[in-house]
Amino acid sequence: MALALQPAAAPWLLILVGVSGAFVAIDATTRLRCAKNPVLSAALGLVLGNFLLFILHLHATNGLWHFALVALPLLILLAPARHEAGPEDSFPWANFLRYLPFVMVFHIVGGLMYSVLYPAYEPAAMVAGAELPFYMLTAVGAVWIIKKHQELTLILGILLGMIAFATLKFGHPLSINLSMFALQAGQGFVDLFLLAYLLSFHQRNRAVGLGLAVLCLGIFVGQFIGRNLQEFVGTIVMAGHISLNLAVLTLYFFGRRRHEAIEPAAPPSEAKTQNSPPLEERVPEHMRLLLSQRECLVLAHSLDGRTYREIAADLDISESSVKTYMKRICDKLGVRGRKGLFEALEAR
């Protein structure tokens, strides 16, 4: 809001926005974990934010109301929020770093793309902000895809980035618009994938802080390189295209190796006693993404056919706590009772 009154102070105000934005982003993201459906809530947050940005594009002014419309909704975050306490165990770095390199590569390439694409797109845009609905549509579509196959959203985002590079080569106003639309759609997939992935960790402040830092670092590196290599547009496009191709191939082979690693090397009866994975890992990955570690453990016991009393005895908690966990699980997965859980597993 101060920017409307002191435009000359923009550089200093942007620094303030950057610093405060880190705290706001972490707090807003960790609040999502307490929602009944965290991934859907994250998608709706991205959609509403970009819808507001789209409206501002259509009615761009430098008046105070313009900036107040953006700033005032942040007051919602002053309301107290319920935060679930996570366990005090060590942070799972190996699991956490699994996908971040792909997110980093995508945003470095995206930053490069924006530095080259946006100057050409701005005068050729069909409608100001027309690219934002494509981001919103893919963010919503990613909610359904994540439930079926977590990695597919990341792969689709990278593929759309590749399409953006391919269409940019033609240099026609229509192809420039299509390039921007594809890039925004890819961003929607990757951003929702990253939010859902970060929310699957119990130490959420650390996971969200580091994950968003990687995202911002990728954009910064990409834009920094792009601004200093404007005369090498062709080279930038080719390098970005190759990088995204390599990212897709790496994800594919990474997925195959992980799938082969979890295949039983012995008969089921022997594997169960000698090489049985942690109990919570028996819960499908798309479900683990939405649940806390304790909820995954309760669900795994339940899927083994154990009663609430037996689960409570195994986990050293009360039977009422087991029922509370099961209610949370059903709410987050959008099902009703054990029958609904088994039906959701069979439909996967």
Q: Residues with Cβ < 8 Å from 75, sequence gap 6 or more?
A: none
Query: Smallest Cα–Cα separation from 327: which of 36, 34, 30?
Result: 36
What's the burial of 259, exposed, middle or buried (CB within 10 Å: 0-12/13-18/19+)?
exposed
DSSP H helical ranges for the chain:
2-5, 10-32, 38-58, 64-71, 93-96, 100-124, 132-148, 150-168, 173-199, 204-228, 233-262, 268-274, 285-288, 293-303, 308-315, 319-333, 337-347
Please state which CATH number belongs to domain 279-347: 1.10.10.10
pLDDT at 43: 92
pLDDT at 309: 81
DSSP character string of 33-93: TTSSSHHHHHHHHHHHHHHHHHHHHHT---SHHHHHHHHGGGGGGGS----PPPP-SPP-H
Query: Smallest Cα–Cα separation from 142: which of 133, 132, 151?
Result: 151
DSSP 264: -
The CA angle 296-104-287, to the nearest 5 degrees, is 15
Other Cβ atoms less than 10 A from the Cβ of 76: the count is 9
Report how far residue 65's alpha carbon sits from residue 86's, in angstroms, rounded to the nearest whole number: 41
pLDDT at 269: 40
Report how far residue 244's alpha carbon sits from residue 221's, in angstroms, rounded to the nearest whole number: 16
Please check whether the domain covering 25-69+96-260 is classified as CATH 2.60.40: no
pLDDT at 232: 67
Q: Are 145 and 185 in contact (CB under 8 A)?
A: no
- Average pLDDT by consecutive 10-residue portion of the chain (348 residues)? 85 90 86 82 90 78 75 80 55 76 84 79 82 91 85 86 83 88 92 87 81 90 78 67 71 58 41 47 68 80 79 79 82 74 65
Q: Are 338 and 292 in contact (CB under 8 A)?
A: no
pLDDT at 15: 92
Residue 179 gets the label, from left (phi > 0), alpha (psi -120 to 50) or beta, of: alpha
Report how far residue 54's alpha carbon sits from residue 132's, in angstroms, rounded to the nearest whole number: 6
Two structure tokens written together for 43? 């998608």
Report how far residue 81's alpha carbon sits from residue 199's, in angstroms, rounded to the nearest whole number: 16
Q: For the chain, give every domain's residue range.
A: 25-69+96-260, 279-347
pLDDT at 270: 40
Q: Are 192 and 42 in contact (CB under 8 A)?
A: yes
Residue 336 gets the label, from left (phi > 0), alpha (psi -120 to 50) or beta, of: beta
Q: Residues with Cβ < 8 Å from 338, sequence gap 6 or more?
A: 302, 326
For tokens 């921007």, what's the residue?
Answer: 180
Query: Smallest Cα–Cα separation from 328: which of 28, 81, 33, 88?
Result: 33
pLDDT at 137: 92
Q: Residues with Cβ < 8 Å from 45, sequence gap 6 or more?
A: 28, 32
- In this chain, the answer to whether the domains covering 25-69+96-260 and 279-347 adopt an identical fold is no
Helix (H, G, I), strand (E, B) or coil at 278: coil
Q: Residues with Cβ < 8 Å from 106, sequence gap 6 or more?
A: 157, 158, 161, 186, 190, 218, 244, 247
Distance of CA 233 to the CA centre of its chain: 29
